[in-house]
Every structure is written in C-alpha cells, then in structure tokens.
C-alpha cells in the first residue's frame, strides 16, 4: 500500500471548508487520538487493502506494468459534544470521499466508554492505478 493514498485521503478532508469549519486542519490526522487531544477530531487509518497486477504485469517492461491498488481506510469522527455532532461531520466526510472516487463500505455509531467520547466509524475503499 502506498503512503501517497493515505496523504491523498487526508488531502480530501483538509481541503473541504465545511469539514475544516467543524474540525481544525491540525485535528484531522493520520493515526489515533490521545486522551489529551482536541475534540472534535478526525483520524484516518488504513485497515486493509489489495494490490494486483494486470495481465502481463510479471513480464512487461518497466514503465508499462499496470497495477491496481485498493486500500480501505477507516475514518473516525470523535466528539465530546454529542452523537449528532459526530454524525454531522461524518455526513460531510461521506460527501467528500464519494466525490473523490471512493466507495463507502460501512458506518457505525458508538459511544467509547474508555474515552468518554462519541464516535462515528466509517470505512471507504479508494482505487488507484499505477504504472510501475
């Protein structure tokens, strides 16, 4: 999996003015929040994915090998305010991710008892083609 795909996903979120009105850019990060983090915040993590070469990938000359990358990202929206506020942000994330060519796989609302925080967990699959 490419680190570029992770950066691109974060780029989608930080470039959207509606999302950054709810969550400052510094609080949209790759990785998990700590108890002392600012809330609301958004975390991005890669949870799974596949890469595969197209027909002839093994024998093609360098520069003509076509490979498809499909990482799946988990995007968590964390808020101390309410589940409603987390869902408002998550709905905007869905719009941005779908506009960026991602496919939404799942969404789950929860209250994290350990941290005392409302959380919306979403997963999206991103498709990227490479010529190696």
pLDDT digits (tens, 9 = 90+) for 33-82: 666 678 999 999 999 988 888 788 878 777 678 888 899 999 999 999 99
pTM of the model: 0.86
Q: How many Å separate Cα 52 from the centre of its chain?
A: 21
User: CA 98 → CA 58, 61, 131, distances in Å?
Assistant: 32, 34, 24
Q: What is the mean predicted confidence (pLDDT) over 102-129?
A: 92
* Alpha carbons 80 and 92: distance in angstroms, whole number: 18
pLDDT value for 32:
75
Handedness of CA 34, 36, 37, 40 (dihedral sign): positive
- Measured CA distances, 109 to 78, 115, 119, 123, 131 (Å): 10, 15, 6, 12, 38
Q: What is the pLDDT of residue 40?
A: 93
Domain spanning 3-131: CATH superfamily: Phage tail protein-like (3.30.2000.10)
Domain ranges of the chain: 3-131
28-30 vs 103-112, strand pairing mode: unpaired
pLDDT for the residue numbered 58: 77
Q: Would the pLDDT of 5 be above 60? A: yes
Give me the chain's average pLDDT, please. 89
């Amino acid at each position: 999996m490419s680190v570029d795909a992770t950066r691109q996903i974060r780029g989608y979120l930080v470039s959207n003015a509606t999302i950054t009105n709810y969550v400052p850019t510094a609080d949209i990060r790759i990785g998990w929040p700590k108890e002392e983090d600012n809330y609301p915040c958004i975390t991005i993590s890669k949870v799974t994915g596949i890469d595969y070469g197209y027909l002839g990938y093994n024998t093609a000359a360098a520069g003509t090998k076509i490979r498809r990358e499909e990482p799946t990202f988990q995007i968590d929206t964390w808020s101390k305010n309410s589940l409603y506020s987390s869902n408002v942000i998550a709905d905007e994330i869905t719009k941005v991710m779908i506009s960026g060519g991602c496919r939404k796989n799942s969404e789950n609302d929860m209250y994290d008892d350990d941290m005392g925080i409302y959380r919306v967990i979403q997963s999206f699959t991103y498709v990227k083609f490479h010529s190696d």
